[in-house]
Amino acid sequence: MNLKVAYRPYRREFLHPLRTAHREWKEREGFIVRVASDEAVGYGEIAPLPEFGTETLERAADFLKKWVDDPIIMPSGLPCCCFALTTAIQHSRATACPAARDYAVAGLLPAGSAALAAAKKKLAAGYSALKWKIGVFPSEAEKEVAADLLALLPEKVSLRLDANGGLKRKELEDWLEVLSPHASQIEFLEQPLPPGQEGTMAELGRVSKIPIALDESLNALGRERWLTPGVWEGPLVIKPLLMGNVTSLLQQLRPLARQLVFSSVFETGIGLSQALELADALPAMKYAIGFDTVAAFDDALTGPVSAPVFLARARAHFYPEVIWKQLPPLN
């Protein structure tokens, strides 16, 4: 197949810096790739997160310089590049995609006490699940906020707490003691301990009756174990753009579909569209997706408007070339 390939970098500033247990995040950088064949044009997004075990932006850039001269080569050890290229090539072959579906979206709250005002707005907008980062501020202050958040929630709205692997065992035990009386309101606690401590998380989760979800563990060494059916009982938070070849990824995820929680890496509308196309091929998925991120930026690179539900009909009016044309071409 005769392919014409190109790539362009992007840089986006967050409207408000994002604080997690890993760092304070002020901007998002990545690349958009374009693959054109005689049949169609496909796009892909490279959005590295080295703290999740991916390649760096610099390694991705080095690969892309070689790729434009030799489009046959495929990246090795570069999962973000691999995801972007395989999705772009798939579209350039005019491969039919599963029918688009509507998706409930979990509302993203800022860390700390600012979550309370944000939660009131999300609830008024109709979100059925909320996600809040912990392990960012002193734990006693966060626990007070957690109590206020839980008091706000209507009966059918659940709360997810995400520690980004930033807790120690004693801190996790303390959090589970606080949360256990509210187990009916807690959807899950996401990656409370660092990768390598999955056994401890599983043990404490079973005792407390609070579901523990894996996230960083799925992008670390040994991730294949936790993506083996029957090994992990709780939710599995999947960041598709970080996980390599989209075709083999789909085959790996199908047996796990009911445990999957698709999650954003603050990608552009192109990456979001690709993640949702992968979700379309996994109809057994049941959790609200973690893509309440488009409002984090104020630029022309976003996808659907942030809302409690991503509607299939809105996705039908998304055109990747509009984003491509916003990006500065390389010299």
Per-residue H/E/C for 267-310: CCHHHHHHHHHHHHCCCCCCCCEECCCHHHCCCCCCCCCCCCEE
Q: Which domains does the chain have, with CATH numbers?
A: 4-96+322-326 (3.30.390.10), 103-319 (3.20.20.120)
Residues of the chain predicted below pLDDT 50:
none
- As a whole number, the mean pLDDT across the chain is 93
Q: What is the pLDDT of residue 331?
A: 63
Query: 65, 120, 121, 133: which is the annotated catalytic residue?
Result: 133
Q: Are 187 and 158 in contact (CB under 8 A)?
A: yes
Instruction: Round to whole Å and give the CA distance between 161 and 216.
Output: 14
Residue 42 neighbours by CB under 8 Å, 6+ apart: 34, 35, 36, 87, 88, 89, 90, 91, 92, 93
DSSP structural state of residue 141: H
26 is catalytic: no
Q: What is the pLDDT of residue 25?
A: 87
Instruction: Round to whole Å and give the CA distance between 317 and 309.
Output: 16
DSSP 48-93: --GGGT---HHHHHHHHHHHTT-TT---SS-HHHHHHHHHHHHHHT
Query: 156, 170, 209, 239: which is the annotated catalytic residue?
Result: 239
239 is catalytic: yes
Q: What is the pLDDT of residue 223?
A: 86
Supply φ then ψ for residue 29, to 5 degrees: -125, 150
Place of tokens 């992990």: 232
Distance of CA 328 to the CA centre of its chain: 26
Q: What is the pLDDT of residue 1?
A: 61
Q: Given CA atoms 232, 237, 242, 246 in this order, what sign does their dihedral have?
A: positive
Neighbours of 145 (CB within 10 A): 20
Q: Are 44 and 84 in contact (CB under 8 A)?
A: yes
Q: What is the pLDDT of residue 310?
A: 92
Phi-psi region of 126 (alpha: psi -120 to 50; beta: other; left: phi over 0): left
Q: Are 294 and 304 in contact (CB under 8 A)?
A: yes
The residues facing 24 across adjacent strands are: 19
Q: What is the pLDDT of residue 21?
A: 67
Whole-number Cα distances in Å, 329 to 105, 267, 324:
33, 19, 9
Dihedral angle at the C-alpha atoms of 321, 69, 58, 37, nearest 10 degrees?
Answer: 30
